[in-house]
Amino acid sequence: LTPAASFSTSSPPIERDDEIVFGFIGLGNMGFPMASNLRKQTVPLVVFDTNPETCRVARENGMVIASKPEEIITRNFFNKTKSGCSLIFTMLPGCNAIHATMNQLFQVASTDVQDVHCRRVFVDCSTVSPSTSKAWHKKWIEKGHDMLDAPVSGGVKGATDATLTFMVGSEESRGWQVAKPYLDFMGSRIVFCGGPGAGSATKLCNNLALASQMIGICEAMNLGEALGVDPIVLSDVMNTATAKCWSSEVNNPHPKVAAKRSSPAANEYKGGFGSKLMLKDLGLAVQSANEVGVSLPITSQAKELYRLIDAHGLGDKDFGVMLQFLRGKRP
């Protein structure tokens, strides 16, 4: 039995669907299309963002705007049995933002959760350290609420197309059962990874492995070309050999190879997965490894290389820009 199989997702939510009001905090590049996909399913949706212009567009898209995060919990927007939202998503830039927002919510969240109508589920889709996730799982559970860490992969395109992958960590509890059907509105693949923090950990582990793969492919393409091997031939060989990976096949960092797929390297590394975001994820991975005493020699070096890329003003370029950086070039 995998952990995923130990949960029954066919059992009905404890609360009746039409009583659920949804909250969404953080309408950035990812959060806005995610919230829009929730809204498209005609769910009642209250949102908060610090950017007034974003809020204006959200209102035009049928979302109800909270004037501060606490209203997500305290205000009764839809004349329901209970105040505020039952299922509250957060999509914020990192640990500090999550701590700040969660603290605001925590102060107003009732502890009177003997009444099921006062229980809420917090679904944090931000990419944060597993220790941040665990800390908030603990606090919410102690207060009688539920939490999921549910970071995503798939980028802005996946958020827009509702094809995100959600990596979920949660106690074996009501929260997962309540939230899962609604994650399907925003993603095409919902993976239960384990207990509190397991979603955050899984995302960081995937991305640290991805970073070393990309840099390895960049080094291979650069060396091969310098030694006179045609980049197309080299990638064709690798893609049918033991070095085959997503960074070689789907997102090859060599412009000549990328041209076949119109992937970022064919377009001056625009779009794709920003080097700055990779730097953030690698920083969280190294920090988490320090906390649990795990050695990450290659990931640590990869992190420093992406810090250099960011320092050189290339942080917004797809992380395949490493190929050019290692040549001393800019795209």
Q: How far is the CB of 149 from a copy of itself (least distance, A)?
A: 11
Please report how close the Cβ of residue 294 comes to a copy of itself at its closest, in angstroms.
Answer: 5
Give the Cβ contact number of residue 169 at 10 Å. 28
Which residues make beta-bridge pairs with 122? Answer: 88, 147
Q: Is 202 near a copy of itself (CB under 8 A)?
A: yes
Instruction: Annotate each residue in 212-251 with x if it binds a copy of itself (CB under 8 A) or - if it does not, as one string.
Output: xx-xxx-xxxxxx-xxxxx-xxx-xxx-xxxxxxxxx---
DSSP β-ladder status, 146-149 and 164-170: antiparallel
Catalytic residue among 68, 139, 180, 203: 203
**Least separation, in Å, of the C-beta of 198 and a copy of itself?**
5
Instruction: Rule CB under 8 A: say whether 301 interacts with a copy of itself.
Output: yes
Q: In this complex, which beta carbon is closest to a copy of itself, that of residue 104 or of residue 212?
A: 212
d(C-alpha 244, C-alpha 290), whole Å: 30
Q: Which residues contact 203 (CB under 8 A, 6 or more apart)?
A: 127, 151, 152, 153, 167, 281
What does the block give as tokens for 204? Answer: 């960081």
Q: How many residues bind a copy of itself (CB under 8 A)?
A: 71
| The two structure tokens encoding residue 96 | 């500090």
**What is the rounded CA–CA span in Å between residue 117 and residue 122?**
15
Name which position in 205, 256, 270, 276 contacts a copy of itself (CB under 8 A): 205
* Vertex 248: Cα angle to 246 and 252 (nearest 5): 105
Contact 284, 203 (CB under 8 A): no
Residue closer to a copy of itself (CB basis): 73 or 279: 279
Q: In the bound complex, what is the minimum distance in angstroms from residue 222's beta carbon to a copy of itself?
A: 5
> Rule CB under 8 A: which of 108-167 touch a copy of itself?
130, 153, 165, 167
User: Least separation, in Å, of the C-beta of 37 and a copy of itself?
Assistant: 20
Asked if 287 is part of the footprint of a copy of itself (rule: CB under 8 A), the reply reads no
Q: Which residues are paired to 87 by β-bridges?
A: 22, 121
Q: Is 275 a residue that touches a copy of itself (CB under 8 A)? A: no
Among 95, 102, 305, 309, contact with a copy of itself (rule: CB under 8 A): 305
CB burial readout 260-274, b (16+ within 10 A) else e: eeebbbbeebeebbb
If one asks whether residue 189 binds a copy of itself (CB under 8 A), the answer comes out as yes
Whether 203 is a known active-site residue: answer: yes
**Residues that are catalytic:** 203
